[in-house]
Amino acid sequence: MPGITREEVAHLARLARLELKEEELDHFSGQLDDIIGAVARVSEVADQDVPPTSHPLPLTNVMRADEVRPSLTPEQALSGAPAQEQQRFKVPQILGED
């Protein structure tokens, strides 16, 4: 199986908006190639009589059921807020976007 090329790593980095140095491209292409090889070996072991699993132990839902209970009105919830707008907490802009 051909390995992951540094051009493919550069393409993935561009898609993820990452800036990688030249030596990082070589380093990561080797690492990604090792990872893909390991996954290929695992898929070779899996056979038709082995059912697919997402977890080795059975899991049960530990969340409680939703219940409608009395709660605060929007006015009560916003009563201590330093600023509010349209029944919402108003906070300073931090990301510089409109």
CATH number of domain containing 20: 1.10.20
What are the pLDDT digits (tens) for 11-47? 999 999 999 999 999 899 989 988 888 888 877 776 7
**Structural domain contains residue 83:** no
Q: What is the pTM of this model?
A: 0.44
How many domains does the chain fold into? 1
DSSP code of 48? T
Between vectors from CA 36 to CA 30 and to CA 38, what angle results, nearest 5°?
Answer: 105
Alpha carbon distance 13, 24 (integer Å): 11
**Structural domain contains residue 34:** yes
**Structural domain contains residue 15:** yes
**Structural domain contains residue 98:** no
The confidence score (pLDDT) of residue 68 equals 92
